[in-house]
Chains A and B, each alone.
Chain A
Amino acid sequence: MKAFTRLDARAVPLQIANIDTDQIIPKQFLKTVEREGLSKGLFYDFRFDPEGREKPDFILNRPEYQGAGVLVAGDNFGCGSSREHAPWALLDFGISCVISTSFADIFYNNCFQNGLLPVVLKPEDVSTLMDEAKGGNHMVSIDLEARTVTSPSGRTFTFEIDAQRRTKMLKGLDAIGETLTAAADIDVYEARRALDQPWLERT
């Protein structure tokens, strides 16, 4: 996994609550067997009309937000389907940090598997960022080591994040490799359980 330490990028405000993963990446893009190339499906129904033409009004299509690396979104971002294609599509599009007041559990988890940083801020701070990002300057800085977001006007907000998750993100650690260092514990667990609950050993 790619490490995340610091990011200086344009922030794009998307002031809609409950953006679900069907909206982040619609069904027709889930038929791939690859992780790459999903940016074409990101927010597809928002970005394109039914004929596949770009909708110029949608914020991600506006010239001033091209190359955005941070998304500031409404409450409960990423609800719905467990599709990891959602963080894959965001990353492929160039967005490696999403800021909201809250995230749905599965999406939040999926972010950490991929080096996409989900930042939870207080509603008033998200609101400030949202307003500032709508102005002429969209540049924000995210410092994961310091746990801070600095707004375009230079205001700094501190965010909470689980310490272990932060460490792993900073180092870009591979979860499977780490768990396999406990393989002996898994062996012991399985051996004990085969005695205690033998019915689970048959299929």
Chain B
Amino acid sequence: MSGKTLYDKIWDAHLVAEQDGEAILYIDLHLIHEVTTPQAFAGLRADKRRVRRPDRTLAVADHNIPTEGQALGVGAVADEEARLQLQTLERNVADYGIAFFPMGDIRNGIVHVVGPEQGRTQPGMTIVCGDSHTSTHGAFGALAHGIGTSEVEHVLATQTLRAKKAKNMRVTINGTPAPGVGAKDFALAVIGEIGTAGGTGYVIEYAGEAVRALSMEGRMTLCNLTIEGGARAGLVAPDQTTFAYLMGRAAAPKAGAWDMALSYWKTLITDEDARFDREVVLDAADIAPLVTWGTSPEDVVAVTGVAPSPDQASTPDKKAAVERALDYMGLTAGQPVTEARVDVVFIGSCTNSRIEDLRSAAAIIEGRKVADHVRAMVVPGSGLVKAQAEEEGLDAIFIAAGFDWREPGCSMCLGMNPDRLAPGERCASTSNRNFEGRQGRGGRTHLMSPAMAAAAAVAGHIVDVRTFLPTGTPG
């Protein structure tokens, strides 16, 4: 009998019972937000059910909040529907005794930034949230994935989820990346390799020296984008980097409990003789700074590359998809991607709005100016990230360069709040989805790293960030 993968171990440790061939899996942490919960609470009320573990539930307001004037409170939110949704969340958390960081609280921000930042996210946990980018928390060696609203209601009522076990995939990234290449490029390279549905039915464990060398924030970026390759969850086994990040955080275990937790966390590794259903191996040294050219996250190309030709597609359906994407994006086959002139630069989202992301963008921006025709904005991932950046003077660098320095939230990643693209506008974005209309109807999104987006803001078009780096700069 072969050994267990990290996923197997976490799964087994949370198995409460099996019913009709389905597992009932215990959930350690349930993160909730305003958009995917109102119907779940309404269902609880209708059936007179309680919230089983309000103490294992944490609420934030992030998806539809404005990124200015947050101190004025929810009552001042101009969008009537958004305001009602935010007020509904406030009422629900009060009625059921759930911890909540309201809009304007320094601890509030994007749910996948807040959980780790508070030390709520810990190795070995099961974590769910009504948001597909819950995969982010896998960076800590936690089994974390998105669920729908009916499942949110199920978790509220039972603190469990009915689930079927997924298959195991391992993505190993060996070697050392070149300067200017980082976690975002790794993630896009993986999606480019396996395709947007390549991970469907799998949980992916990331391994290899290039993954080990990533900071926790880099690992979060990598795991965050796992869902864009179709896998619900990504995992990185916890190590010293993980433990050092967690130590001393508000909700992390303290004193004796820390030692006890640590000895458990150290067991959370894949056994050497464990078998994976699929293995993918990449070399970090082969990865260039990447951008997306099309309307699916798998439409990846090196910044030195060109938009593809429909004629190279392997099937008529794929040919039609390439034609449609080129048309939507306003690009022509064979056009160098660096010719794409950008109108907007967005630095933010649960993928890339943490302090290291802002530092890497600021390093490119410092002493430079945003191109005249570009509207550029930075939306920090949380109030605490914003405060940290301000303490380091990053806000001053961004503002001096011509960036708009905003308040935290999901913002233009999905455009539920007023931050949106106008039809035809082209955006260099550090977010996670380049779908048609994602950032605003008719908007054209190119996904890339914070450093690449910063460079695009200065150049006014997509550009190779490596031309901005002083010689000898580490990635």
A residues bordering B, Cβ < 8 Å? 15-18, 20, 22-23, 26-28, 30-35, 45, 50, 74-76, 79-84, 87, 102-106, 109-110, 113-114, 162-164, 167-168, 175-176, 178-183, 185-186, 189-190, 193, 197-200, 202-203
Contacts and interface: CB of A to CB of B under 8 A. Distances in A.
B200 A50 contact: no
A50 to B, nearest CB: 6
Interface residues of B, number: 80
Contacts of B158: 176, 179-180, 183, 186
Contacts of B414: 22, 27, 81
Nearest to A197: B264
B172 interface: no
Contact of B200 (A104, A164, A190): A104
Given A18-B196, A105-B230, 12 more contacts: A22-B414, A22-B437, A26-B437, A45-B436, A82-B148, A83-B36, A109-B148, A110-B150, A176-B154, A189-B26, A200-B28, A202-B257
Interface stretch (B78-86, B336-344, B362-370, B448-456): B78-86
B55 A203 contact: yes
B39 interface: yes
Interface centre among A15, A26, A87, A202 (most CB of B within 10 A): A26
A84 B36 contact: yes
Q: Which 8 A-B pairs have the closest CB atoms?
A: A113-B150, A33-B38, A31-B81, A84-B148, A199-B253, A110-B148, A82-B146, A76-B197
A84 B433 contact: no
Interface stretch (B159-167, B353-361, B385-393): B159-167
Nearest to A196: B264
Interface string B379-421: 0000000000000000000000000000000000011100000
19 contacts: A22-B435, A31-B79, A33-B38, A34-B38, A45-B436, A84-B148, A87-B148, A105-B200, A106-B147, A110-B148, A110-B151, A113-B148, A164-B21, A179-B19, A182-B16, A197-B260, A197-B264, A202-B253, A203-B99
A176 B153 contact: yes
B42 interface: yes
Nearest to B299: A18
Interface centre among A16, A109, A183, A190 (most CB of B within 10 A): A109
B150 A167 contact: no
Contacts of A181: 19
Contacts of B42: 33
B35 interface: yes
A7 to B, nearest CB: 21
A45 to B, nearest CB: 5
B47 interface: yes
Contacts of B253: 199, 202
Contacts of B147: 82, 106, 109
A186 B196 contact: no
Interface string B195-229: 01100110000000000000000000000000000
A162 B163 CA distance: 12
Contacts of A180: 157-158
Given A109-B148, A186-B158, A23 B437 contact: yes
Contact of A31 (B85, B122, B258, B296): B85
A60 B2 CA distance: 51
Nearest to B436: A23
B429 interface: no
Contacts of B79: 31
B26 A45 contact: no
B64 A31 contact: yes
Contacts of A179: 19, 24, 154, 157-158, 160, 162
B371 interface: no
Contact of B160 (A23, A162, A186): A186
A80 B433 contact: yes
A50 B423 contact: yes
Given A15-B317, A23-B437, A84-B149, A175 B261 contact: no
